[in-house]
Amino acid sequence: MNESTQIFTQALHTSSSNSTSDLPTQPTLLPSFQSQTQSHTDAAESLDELHHKSTYTFRFCIFIRSITNRKLQLTRERRGLVEIWRDRRDKFDPEPTFPPAEMASVSELQNKLEKIVRSNPELERQAAKGLEETIAALEKTSVSTEAPASVPSVPEDPIGRLGRGFQTFKANHFDKETALFEKLKTGQWPKYMIVACSDSRVDPATILGLQPGEAFMVRNVANLVPAWEKGGYPSVSSALEYAVKHLKVEHIVVIGHRLCGGIKALVTTEEGQGSHDFIENWIEIGQPARAVTKNVCNADSTDDQCKFCEKESVNVSLTNLLTFPWVKEKVIAKKLSLHGGFYDFVEGSFQVWDLDVAITHSQKF
């Protein structure tokens, strides 16, 4: 090979190598294109996911809005029914209206009551009792007017009723009148002994407003006191002895009452015709009262005879009290007085009278 040929071959080789190095090769372009393609794919998937989420959110908002609209509609309908019910109630049972001049406010009445109690503190207990009765009556009225007629009444538990009654007593009396009950812990000093009937309608503590510790009580059928005698089971006699000798009561009150079942049996049952084990034998104590009744008003109706005998039997018991030596002794010494009482719950009246014992001294001529 000559020199010119070598120079041409060398130049051609150099030119070929330079041209090849200046052009970009295919492998250097592929990675960049693939990364761009992947980015577009991820963006598209993200847009699809966002579209689905926004679609669900929009549908949920529409669902919540429909529920809210339904609630508003039901509320409007309910208010409409209430207004209709009130209109009908006011139409058929309108609330009573009172002239402003005739009705005092609660605050005015409270101020008046406070002035009265301040001027006379002894009236505080009486005022408190009156307020309790008024509030109880208002509560009963409120319950009776507010209770729906369609709701059936539930029978009250009998023993539970006693428990609730005690709780009321404890709250209104025991917890408030602490001085009284602290004193009663040390003993009792009643001024009265009361003999009354066992009839559930004639509780002496209720009808006479007696406080605990004020009266020593005996209750039996027809409020009878037997004459003095030893033997048997002297229930009334033992209570009488304890009251007079130990408690030193100052007054013994025998209280009869209207419509007494024991006195009716005494008036209407002939001797030996009774069918009970004990009742006829017990009411035999009142036979003197029955004899007087038949003698005075035998032609009257049975009801009139019973009413007369109900009072006369009290006098028989008062007379029998004087057969007890220690009762008679204190009556003569004016340390004990005997009284009769009669409670008529038909007319709402109470009558009381004294047994006048006249003591005369014999004179010798």
Three-class DSSP category at 191? coil
pLDDT of residue 24: 46
pLDDT of residue 116: 79
Domain boundaries, the chain: 42-92, 103-143, 187-365
CB 322 within 8 A of CB 328: yes
Angle made by CA atoms 61, 66, 72, in degrees to the nearest 5? 125
Tokens in use for 125?
Answer: 């207990």
Per-residue pLDDT of the chain (365 residues), as tens digits, is 544 445 445 544 544 444 444 444 444 444 454 555 556 566 666 666 666 666 666 666 676 777 777 767 777 777 776 676 666 666 555 555 545 445 566 677 777 777 777 777 777 777 777 777 777 777 666 555 554 555 556 677 889 999 999 999 999 999 999 999 999 999 999 999 999 999 999 999 999 999 999 999 999 999 999 999 987 779 999 999 999 999 999 999 999 999 999 999 999 988 777 788 899 999 999 999 999 999 999 889 999 999 999 999 999 999 999 999 999 999 999 999 999 999 999 999 999 999 987 666 556 65
pLDDT of residue 324: 96
Question: What are the start-end ranges of the H helices in the chain?
Answer: 3-22, 30-92, 106-119, 124-146, 158-169, 178-184, 204-207, 235-241, 261-268, 279-283, 287-297, 302-321, 325-332
pLDDT of residue 217: 97
Three-class DSSP category at 334? coil
Question: For residue 198, what are the contacts with CB-CB under 8 A and spacing of at least 6?
Answer: 219, 220, 221
Tokens in use for 343?
Answer: 């409670």
Measured CA to CA, the distance from residue 311 to residue 315 in angstroms comes to 7
**CB count in 10 Å sphere of residue 211:** 12
Please give the class, per CATH, of domain 187-365: alpha beta
SS (H, E, C) 243-272: HHHHHCCCEEEEEEECCCHHHHHHHHCCCC
